[in-house]
Chain A
Amino acid sequence: MTGTETIAKPPRTGGTRPGGGRLPLARLRDFALVPAILLLVVVGALIDPVFLSAANITNVLQQQTELALLVLAEAIILIAGKFDLSLESTIGLAPALAVALVIPAASNGLGTELPAGLAIGLCLLTGLAIGAFNGLLILRFKLSAFIVTLGMLIVLRGLQIGITGGQNLFDIPPSVLYLGSAVWLGVPASIWISGSLFVLGIVALGYFRHGRSVYAIGGNTDAARAAGIRTDRVVWVVLMIGGLLAALAGLLMTGRLGSVAAAQGDGMIFTVFAAAVIGGISLDGGKGTLFGALCGVVVLGLINNILTLAGVSAQWIQAIYGAIILVALILARLTSGKAQD
């Protein structure tokens, strides 16, 4: 490095001091949703004392684990400046395919009856392969990520219906059920898994060179390439991780519900994007943090739970939930002060 002699820093007027400052202003945005979460907790407690019970909190968190994993995947992909709509189909197809390969034809399986121990591996491999195929179309053939993954969303959903004959799969091997139903140290395993994956993601994207390259690519691909980052390779890996996380979310959902629904994950992608954007992830790429995205997930989970506890009728809950998401987006826009393109 040139300029090795340490020169006294010139005095600065206002602003954060370089190197020494505690939290730069930009970082504060990560915590923008924390007050909202606290407010929701207070509101929840006022509406129904049950809200604060350990059982309810655990329930809320567990229900959000699958969404959380999809948001984790989508957030990383969005930061890299790409899109993946097909995640909501992967969450259904990956476990459906894996289960169909191991269960007998009598239970709507494919009749291959592979060893049941392979199911988890097959499921994750399916997710990985879907991500890799998305990458092939987007990066090699230079197709638009939006339309490619929209197409994949439909194709994958169709594949699941074709494979299962449109039926729910009930005869699930215990190994597949385990992750979504086990309880470790008094807390559902799925919460441990999602939580630790988020921690892993936050550390990787915040403190490692390869993680930072995801931000660089999303911020300005040409500049990233000029700095020696292998942009295509990184994006490809990110898309594969996305598929993998969606498959894992599929496993958790299957374990929690005890079956693979024919429409598993259907319509989830809107909530995924809403959570990411409420959490401060930019659809333009290069901006936002995984902690923010996680806060977005928690906010939506709490809102959902409060609506249920408040006794809002099931026929209206969807419209109200959607409207609240729109309001939350408007609030996020107002507090961040920047347009969400």
Chain B
Amino acid sequence: MTSHEQTAGTAAGPPAAQARDVSKRYGATVALHSAGIAVQAGETHALVGRNGAGKSTLVSILTGLQRPDSGEIRFDGVPAPSLADRDAWRQRVACVYQKSTIIPTLTVAENLFLNRQAGRGVIDWRGLRRRAADLLAGYGVDVDPAALAGALTVEQRQLVEIARALSFGARFIVLDEPTAQLDAAAIDRLFDRMRELQSTGVTFLFISHHLQEVYEVCQRVTVLRDARHILTEPVDALSRDELVTAMTGETGRALAAGGTRPPVPATAPVVLDVRGLRLAGHYEGVDLTVRAGELVGLIGSGSSGKVALAETIAGLRRADAGTVTIAGNAPKPGRVPAALAAGLGYLPQDRHREGLVPLLSVAENATMPIAGRLGPAGIIAPARQQATAERMIRRYDIKTDGPHQPVSDLSGGNAQKVVLARALANDPKALVLVSPTAGVDVRSKASLLSAVDEAAAGGAGVLVVSDELDDLRSCERVLVMFHGRVIRDVPRGWTDADLVSAVEGMEQP
């Protein structure tokens, strides 16, 4: 994976995209303070920084969605066009946002040529589909142009968006956390695609929370912190620790690789016991046990069935066969309240969709599963709710104005802490966490993982379902799922390459 043969063309010509001394404030908040970036033509440039460091603002300025208060933007050495001239911007820069800009109810072909299906005349649908097919084939994207865009997978959707961006003639493409929702195999395919396009002269600005990916596809990296530009360096010249230090502004303590906890005695009670679980189309014949105090990882590609398995344990799905036992009880399958009552804590995969009610306060969200205990006869005593929430805020280090702040105002990392606090609220005996650190910045990630460690130390059995190797480092053992089966049980001490190849279904040497 060390393919950094393309050295950035530093000497040749002006940068493909450049922001100089750009400042932007929103009210009292300084989003960017004379920050800058220079992306050389033909390179893949990483932009990293913690949540709130100013990445999104810089991207929206670079793509012409926002006007900087001061400073200037240049493309290939030429000052950027006026903000009103969207067409000119589209020919220079394109952005694939985290939030889809595809219209799900229209076909792929129409999405590709949205608002340019035809001039003033009648749309030739047949010709449009042919043009779309040619465009997609030209970039090797295997998607049916007549399909509804809403039916595409995240990966296909991104490829369609990239193809659309390129079809406007832009040679500079911003990818805003493109890997956040992809599984490992899809990420590799995306990277291959990026390298291919790069060899044809396309320039990328790549934004990611996964530092490993920065080292994998990027040649240079720019770090923003607290609205300022911190450094721009070739990735080869920057160690992982140095990069983390630049992002957090504090030295040392990158991601502590657990491993300090004493091993769990074999006599510890089993708190989560899964026997012969099968759900057609997702997984079959799954057995696993988690003991009190044990931290077990579960890794697998997007199609491995790992999330469906977690959802079955939580009662969101109902297995076709097999049993789930939580702390000695067998809750009624397919019932979330039963699983919770049996002593399960669950952190869902997508905090926006399943985890939080955005407009409700931190206190209400965090105490939702224990609301019954905050007062008699279903009454929620405000004082007790508040006190409980304040305790959680302190304990999990949630950055908020107070228990009354709506969770929609919190940053991604802090919102995730609220979800975790909630999963832990009723002192579960077994804890199932799905992608606990997805889309979360480095420091929040560390504090989330240490809260998980603490829960395990406190006697809970934890199952961490994640693709993120950092989430799994402190696990006693990691189970690998492949095509619906648990194929390996890897004890602590694995190497990244070892685990990743197992996830890809490669045979053990």
Q: CB of A16 within 8 A of chain B?
A: yes
Name the one of B109, B114, B120, B123 contacting A223, with C-beta atoms under 8 angstroms: B114
When C-beta atoms are compared, the residue in chain A nearest to B95 turns out to be A226
A1 and B102 within 8 A (CB)? no
Separation of A208 and B122 alpha carbons in the complex (Å): 5
How far does the Cβ of B370 sit from chain A's closest Cβ, in whole Å? 31
B118 interface contact, C-beta 8 A: yes
Within 8 A of B (CB), among A1-41: 1-10, 12, 15-19, 21, 24, 26
A114 at the interface (CB under 8 A from B): no
Partner of B103, one of A203, A223, A282: A223
Q: Are B123 and A2 in contact (CB under 8 A)?
A: no
| B146→A16 contact, CB < 8 A | yes
Q: Determine whether the beta carbon of B110 is less than 8 Å from that of A212.
A: yes
Bound CA–CA A206/B167 (angstroms): 24
Which B109-150 residues have C-beta < 8 A from chain A? 109-110, 114-123, 125-126, 129-135, 137-139, 142, 144-148
A173 within 8 Å of B (CB atoms): no
Q: Which of A4, A7, A16, A216 contacts B115 (CB 8 A)?
A: A216
In the bound complex, residues from chain A placing their C-beta under 8 Å from that of B114 are: 212, 216, 223-224, 227, 229
Interface size, A (range): 35 or more
Please count how many residues in chain B sit with their CB below 8 Å of the partner chain's CB atoms.
45
Q: Select which of B103, B119, B123 is within 8 A of A216 by beta carbon.
A: B103
Nearest CB of A to B359, in Å? 16
Q: Which residues of A contact B125 (CB under 8 A)?
A: 207
Q: Contacts A3-B139, A6-B134, A212-B110; is A227 near B145 (CB within 8 Å)?
A: no
Judging by beta carbons under 8 Å apart, are B101 and A12 in contact? no
Within the complex, which residue of B86, B104, B169 is in contact with A219, where a contact is CB–CB below 8 Å? Answer: B104
- Measured CB to CB, the nearest residue on chain A to B145 is A18
Nearest-neighbour CB distance to chain B for A20, whole angstroms, equals 8
B115 and A3: CB pair below 8 A?
no
B residues near A142, Cβ cutoff 8 Å = none
In contact, B105 and A215 (Cβ under 8 angstroms): yes
* Among B104, B115, B122, B148: residue with most chain A CB under 10 A: B115
Q: Which residues of chain A are near B148, meaning CB under 8 Å? A: 26
A337 within 8 A of B: no
Q: Which residues of B contact A226 (CB under 8 A)?
A: 101
How distant is the Cα of A203 from the Cα of B118 in the complex, in angstroms? 14
Q: Is B381 an interface residue, CB under 8 A from the partner?
A: no
The smallest C-beta distance from A293 to any residue of chain B, in angstroms, reads: 16
* Residues of the B chain whose Cβ atoms lie less than 8 Å from the Cβ of A194: none
Taken together as a complex, chains A and B put the C-alpha atoms of A228 and B64 apart, in Å, by: 13
Contacts of A220 in B (CB 8 A): 100-104
Q: Which of B55-108 contact A (CB under 8 A)?
A: 86-87, 90, 99-107
Residue of chain A at shortest CB distance from B120: A209
A237 CB, min distance to chain B CBs, angstroms:
15
**A48: CB under 8 A from chain B?**
no
Question: Are B133 and A9 in contact (CB-based, < 8 A)?
Answer: yes
Assess whether A333 is interfacial by the CB under 8 Å rule.
Answer: no
Cβ of B174 < 8 Å from any Cβ of A?
A: no
Residues of B within 8 A of A9 (CB): 133, 137
Distance in angstroms between the alpha carbons of A17 and B144 in the assembled complex: 7
Bound Cα distance A213, B169 (Å): 22
Residues in A with CB closer than 8 Å to B207 are none
Query: In this assembly, does A222 line the interface, its C-beta being within 8 Å of a C-beta of chain B?
Result: yes
Closest to A6 in B: B134
Binary per-residue interface labels of chain A (194-221) against chain B in the complex, 1 for a CB within 8 Å, 0 otherwise: 0000000001001111001101101110
Docked complex Cα distance between A336 and B148 (Å): 15
B166 at the A/B interface (Cβ < 8 Å)?
Answer: yes
Q: How far is B118's CA from A208's CA once the two chains are assembled, in angstroms?
A: 8
Given A6-B134, A10-B142, A216-B103, A19 and B122 contact (CB-CB distance below 8 Å): no
* Contact code string B227-257 (vs A, CB < 8 Å = 1, else 0): 0000000000000000000000000000000
How far, in angstroms, from A224 to B116 measured CA to CA in the complex?
A: 12
Query: B123's closest neighbor in chain A, by CB?
Result: A207
A229 to B90 Cα, complex, angstroms: 14
Instruction: Give Cα A146–Cα B250 distance, bound, in whole angstroms.
Output: 52
Q: A18: which of B110, B118, B132, B167 is its contact (CB, 8 Å)?
A: B132
| A222, A223, A287 — most chain B CB neighbours (10 Å) | A223
Q: How many angstroms from the CA of A212 to the CA of B125 in the assembled complex?
A: 12
Query: With a CB–CB cut-off of 8 A, which chain A residues contact B106?
Result: 212, 215-216, 219, 286
Q: How far is the CA of A286 from the CA of B107 in the complex (A)?
A: 12
Inter-chain CA distance A224–B135, complex, in Å, is: 20
Evaluate contact between A222 and B86: CB separation under 8 angstroms.
Answer: no
Once bound together, how far apart are the Cα atoms of A15 and B151, in whole Å? 13
- Whether the pair A222, B99 counts as a contact (CB closer than 8 A) is yes
Residues of B within 8 A of A223 (CB): 100-103, 114
- Please name 7 further chain A to chain B contacts, defined as beta carbons within 8 Å, in addition to the given A17-B146, A215-B105, sorted by A numbering: A9-B133, A16-B144, A208-B121, A223-B101, A228-B87, A229-B114, A229-B115
| Interface of B toward A, CB cutoff 8 Å | 86-87, 90, 99-107, 109-110, 114-123, 125-126, 129-135, 137-139, 142, 144-148, 166-167, 169
Q: Lowest 7 A-B CB distances belong to which pairs? A: A3-B138, A219-B103, A286-B105, A19-B129, A223-B101, A227-B114, A219-B105
13 A-B contacts (beta carbon < 8 Å): A2-B138, A3-B138, A5-B138, A7-B134, A18-B109, A18-B129, A19-B146, A203-B122, A213-B115, A220-B100, A222-B99, A223-B100, A228-B90
